Amino acid sequence: MKRKTVAFKSIQDWSFIFLIIFFILSLIDRRFGIIGLICLSTPLVLSLLGYGRAHCSHICPRGSFLGKVIKFISIGNKLPPFFRSQEFRIGLLVFMIFCMIGNVLRFFPDWIAMANGMFQIMTGSLIVGTIFGIIFKPRSWCTFCPIGYASGLIKYPKQTEK
């Protein structure tokens, strides 16, 4: 299957509003934390459908927040090469997978506790992304985002020419 071209318009200019709404709702009632699964699954589903990392460039609320809000307070230093390395990105992806599996195993079938765990993962990654965005360039997190990296790992064989 060949990668598809993106047929939908980018909402990067305003999608950070979804992130803010998610955090407000989750602070009011932690059950809303389960919505975080949408944030984690949408990029993977789009990749499986053949759109590659289209979520990263067209939708991602966290990337939108970092690019549109954090840019005003970012120092703008260059990200050290270590954070761009394959080893670091794989390590972070494995860590996030273990966090997700740990939450499911520890809290199943209590979906409210699982929602709280999801909220904690989303909060932790936003804090890390914000710190990196302030110290380095605003969207530094996007360089090693585990979900973006996992989406990029989904490959499609090239169509053979006739």
H/E stretch holding 56 reads helix 54-58
pLDDT greater than 90 at residue 4: no
User: pTM of the predicted model, to two decimals?
Assistant: 0.89
State mean pLDDT over 66-88: 97
Cβ atoms of 74 and 137 closer than 8 Å: yes
- Using the structure block, give the residue that is written with the tokens 């071209």: 5
State yes or no: cis peptide before 109, omega within 30 of 0: yes
Compute the mean pLDDT over every residue in the chain, rounded to the nearest whole number: 91
State mean pLDDT over 135-140: 98
* pLDDT value for 30: 95
* pLDDT value for 9: 87
* pLDDT value for 162: 44
